[in-house]
Structure 1
C-alpha cells in the first residue's frame, strides 16, 4: 500500500456539519430498535423477532429496512399481557408448533 496520504473521508463531512442544526434536547425517545425493545420488556430480541413473524407481539413500524418499536406500543402490549390469576378470562394466545 502506498504511503501517500489518504483523503479525509470522515462522516459527516465538514460541509454537512456547517449546515447541521444541533438541539440540546430532542425530547423523549419515541422509537427503539429490537434490541432496546427486548431489554425494555425483559425479553430476548429473538422472541420479538418470532412475534413479528408469527403474530401476537407488540405493534412495530418499518422505516425502510429498519424495524422500530414505539415505546407507547410496548407499554400497551405489556399492559395487555397483564394477568391477575392463572385462570384469567382471556388466556394468552399459544401458537402451535408444527413438527415435521
Structure 2
C-alpha cells in the first residue's frame, strides 16, 4: 500500500514537472499537423502544375510540327517559283530568238 502511494506521488510529481514540456510538445505537434496540411495542399498544386506542363509540352510539340510544315511548304513554294522564274527566262530568250529570226 505504501509503495502504491509512493508511486502515485512520484507519478503526480513527474506529471507536474513534465506538464510544460508536454504542452510545448502538443504545440509543436499542432504546428507539424498544420505544416503537413500545407504540404498536402502544395502537393496538389504540384500535380496540377505537372498536368499543365504536360499540356504546354503537347502544345509546343504541335507548334513545332506546324512550323516544320510551314517551312516545308515555303521551301517547296520557293523551289517552284525558282523553276517558274527559270522557265520565264527561257521563254523570254526564246521570244528574243524568234524576234531576231523574224527581223531577218
TM norm structure 1: 0.24
Name the larger-Rg structure: 2
Task: Judging by fraction of residues, say which structure has more strand.
Answer: 1
TM norm structure 2: 0.24
Relative contact order, CA 8 A, sep 6+: which one is greater?
A: 1
